[in-house]
């Protein structure tokens, strides 16, 4: 299993609307075309209207690499800078969990 969290800080409220639309389109395609993406959840942050957090879990590193090669992901990566002031990526090692597949 391979997981990560990304925090995006958006430029302003107007760009937040555009970012959320881009994200919705991207997640729709992730759900349709990426069987190796086990969990892909985007979150608004309570009390921080210009922040978004993504939680992503992939079957393995290969599934993540496949996600990164997808046209919809490449489009998201190419367009996101129009909307964000900063972002931070943290790669995770899942440990104790409920709701995630266990490592064999």
Express each pLDDT in 9-24 by its tens digit.
999 999 999 999 999 9
Q: What is the pLDDT of residue 99?
A: 83
Q: Which two tokens stand for residue 63?
A: 């599934």
Residue 52 sits at the vertex; the CA angle it makes with 27 and 5, to the nearest 5 degrees, is 75
> What residue ranges define each of the domains in the chain, with the CATH number in brackets?
2-92 (3.30.70.100)
Among 33-42, 59-68, 84-93, 95-104, name the one with the lowest average pLDDT.
Answer: 95-104
- H/E stretch holding 76 reads helix 71-79
Our CA dihedral for 65, 102, 55, 22, rounded to 10 degrees, sits at 50
Q: What is the pLDDT of residue 98?
A: 84
Our CA dihedral for 74, 4, 90, 13, rounded to 10 degrees, sits at 60
């Amino acid at each position: 299993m391979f997981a990560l969290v990304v925090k995006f800080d958006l430029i302003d409220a107007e760009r937040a609307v555009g970012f959320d639309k881009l994200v919705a389109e991207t997640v729709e395609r992730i759900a349709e075309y990426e069987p190796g993406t086990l969990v892909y959840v985007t979150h608004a942050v309570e009390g921080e209207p210009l922040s978004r957090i993504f939680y992503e879990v992939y079957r393995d590193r290969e599934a993540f690499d496949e996600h990164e090669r997808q046209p919809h992901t490449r489009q998201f990566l190419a367009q996101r800078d129009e909307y964000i002031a900063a972002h931070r990526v943290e790669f995770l090692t899942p440990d104790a969990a409920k709701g995630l597949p266990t490592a064999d």
